[in-house]
Amino acid sequence: MFTTLTDEKLVELAVSKDSEAFGEIVKRWERKIFALCFGMLGREDDARDAAQETFIAAYRNLANFRGDAKVSSWLHRIAVNQCLTTKRRAKTRSEDFLDEETHEEDRVFMVPPHLSPLRTTEQNERLFYVRQAVTSLPTDLRQVIVMKEFEDMTFQEISETLELPLSTVKSRVYTALKQLRMKLERTPLEVA
Amino acid sequence: MNKNKNIEKVCVHGEEIVSYLYDEMPASGRKLFESHLLECSDCTDDFAGLSLARLNVYEWNNNEFAAMQTPTILIPYENSDRDSWFQSWFGPIFSAPKLAAGGILAAAAIVFGFVLFPSGNLENNISINEVKTAHPTATMPDKPSTPMVAEDQQLVEVKIPNLLNRNDNSGVTAKPIMVSKPFAKKRKIDERVAAVKMTPKTKNIQPLTPLNAPRLTNFEDEDDNTLRLTDLIADSNTDK
């Protein structure tokens, strides 16, 4: 029923206390918001926490959503805010030596995604498309993305290895990720 | 530098986005970047898109590659058919360090034993001394200086067991050793060598030629009645 509706229409329905409409928004955007949080925080656990906090904050602030803005931009802004809050909190925790206890409390509500058979199937399918997208990249772009992600090299190390300027390496990684994003948006799993 | 059309702010480069994405941006740059993201929805969307792409690659890495076991590398070295006999016999021994060390120690002990007892055993050494005293004519230098003498000494040692059997506990002196003719010749040489060695160094050596002997240059001038070889030849010719 909700799959054909736009994000903005779903938000309108969610504002009128339609929980299923908001559930559809979460379903559409949870992975992307998780990716954004992962990109900002760099840790899977922290990113999951931040993604959950983002959707809770969005649900609480549905009334503040301006109709002229895109839902994606609205959710992204909330996610960025949430990530910055998480980072500040983590910094304070590390200073106060209270990191472990609070983290354990947060993790109680997290469901490991690999327990769901549906998610496993989706993930396998996604990996297939990702593999296709990466292998279809031009050689120079594929080279830097593999060195960065699979060999865990820094930009400086890649620059020295390939004997390329540092800025060239960074721009190649940027272009590679851009092209990957575009390729994956065309797949059935990643509809923007 | 890009200008955001909606907001009059200078947007960040792609290089800065990936630096932030991979946590390779200095702390000061990070703060500026984060504050910019909060104000610029275009950069935030761009960053979100890159993050999603990165997450996909990250998951691909984690699910397919990180879970894989590192394969055992087997290098097909060529079997060498030209192994030396030493390698084939002693290779297994020297491949074990303890065995190799033990072998080296044993070899060293054997060599050390040969150095200490070069003639085999103590009994033989004693018998050599007995033979020397029983045969004064067969005295030889203790340490032969020429190969010939050394060869002679070896022959004497070989015959020692027979001598011991003949003279055991009887107190009778041993009979002279029967030796072959070349061996006797060698023995005579040995005796001469021994005699030379026994001569004191301080003794004045008598010159072979008398001091008053005529010199060859004025031989014809002197009265000499000694028999000459030329005279003998001449006499024999006349006899014929």
Give the span between the Cα atoms of B185 and B53, in whole angstroms.
106
Distance from CA of A34 to the nearest CA of B (A): 8
Distance from CA of A86 to the nearest CA of B (A): 13
Q: Which of A76, A78, A179 to mutate to test the interface with B (most CBs of B within 10 A)?
A: A76
Q: At what angle do helices A44-60 and A71-96 cross, to 10 degrees?
A: 130
Q: DSSP assignment, residue B204?
A: P
Question: Residue A37, CB half-sphere, CA atoms under 13 Å: how many?
Answer: 28
pLDDT digits (tens, 9 = 90+) for A16-75: 888 888 888 898 888 888 888 887 787 788 888 888 989 999 988 888 887 777 888 888
Average pLDDT over residues B129-145: 46
Closest chain A residue by Cα to residue B31: A84
Would you say residue A136 has pLDDT above 80? yes
Q: DSSP assignment, residue B142?
A: S
Please answer yes or no on whether A149 and B54 come within 8 Å at the CB atom.
yes
The pLDDT-based confidence of A6 (bands split at 50, 70, 90) is confident
DSSP chain A: --TTS-HHHHHHHHHTT-HHHHHHHHHHHHHHHHHHHHHHH--HHHHHHHHHHHHHHHHHTGGG--TTS-HHHHHHHHHHHHHHHHHHHHHHHHHHT-HHHHHHHHHTTPPPGGG-HHHHHHHHHHHHHHHHHHHTS-HHHHHHHHHHHTS---HHHHHHHHT--HHHHHHHHHHHHHHHHHHHHTSTT---
Does the complex come out with an ipTM higher than 0.85? no
- Highest mean pLDDT range out of A122-131, A171-180, B5-14, B134-143? A171-180
Between B89 and B130, the higher pLDDT residue: B89
Residue A60 is encoded by which pair of tokens? 């609480």
Would you say residue B200 has pLDDT above 50? yes
Q: Which of A128, A154, A181, A186 to mutate to test the interface with B (most CBs of B within 10 A)?
A: A181
Which residues in chain A have their CB less than 8 angstroms from residue B47's CB?
36, 39, 76
Cα-based distances in Å from B139 to A47, B173, B184, B190: 105, 15, 13, 8
Q: What is the pTM of this model?
A: 0.49
Q: Is residue B22 within 8 angstroms of chain A, CB to CB?
A: yes
Do A13 and A21 contact (CB within 8 A), yes or no?
Answer: yes
Would you say residue B165 has pLDDT above 60? no
Q: DSSP assignment, residue B73?
A: P
pLDDT score, position B167: 46
Cα-based distances in Å from B181 to A99, B142, B178, B184, B187: 108, 23, 10, 5, 10
Burial class (CB in 10 A: 0-12, 13-18, 19+), A104: exposed
Residue B96 is encoded by which pair of tokens? 């074990």
Would you say residue A112 has pLDDT above 90? no
pLDDT score, position B221: 52
Give the span between the Cα atoms of B201 and B190, in whole angstroms.
19
List all residues of chain A from 21 to 40 with a beta carbon under 8 Å from chain B.
31-40
Cα end-to-end distance, chain A, whole Å: 19
Would you say residue B157 has pLDDT above 90? no
The position carrying tokens 């960065």 is A148
Cα-based distances in Å from B9 to A78, A177, B28, B35, B40: 20, 24, 18, 12, 8
Closest chain A residue by Cα to residue B60: A127
Q: Classify the C-alpha dihedral B17-B23-B28-B32 as positive or negative.
A: positive
SS (H, E, C) B157-199: HHCHHHHHHHHCCCCCCCCCCCCCHHHHHHHHHHHHHHHHHHC
Q: Is residue B19 within 8 angstroms of chain A, CB to CB?
A: yes
From the list B103, B239, B19, B75, the residue with the least C-alpha distance to A170 is: B19
Cα-based distances in Å from A171 to B16, B45, B207: 9, 18, 109
Cα-based distances in Å from A64 to A69, A104, A176: 11, 32, 36
For residue A125, give every residue at least 6 positions away whose Cβ sits within 8 Å of its Cβ, in sequence order, or none: A189
From the list A114, A35, A111, the residue with the least C-alpha distance to A72 is: A35
Please answer yes or no on whether B56 and A184 come within 8 Å at the CB atom.
yes
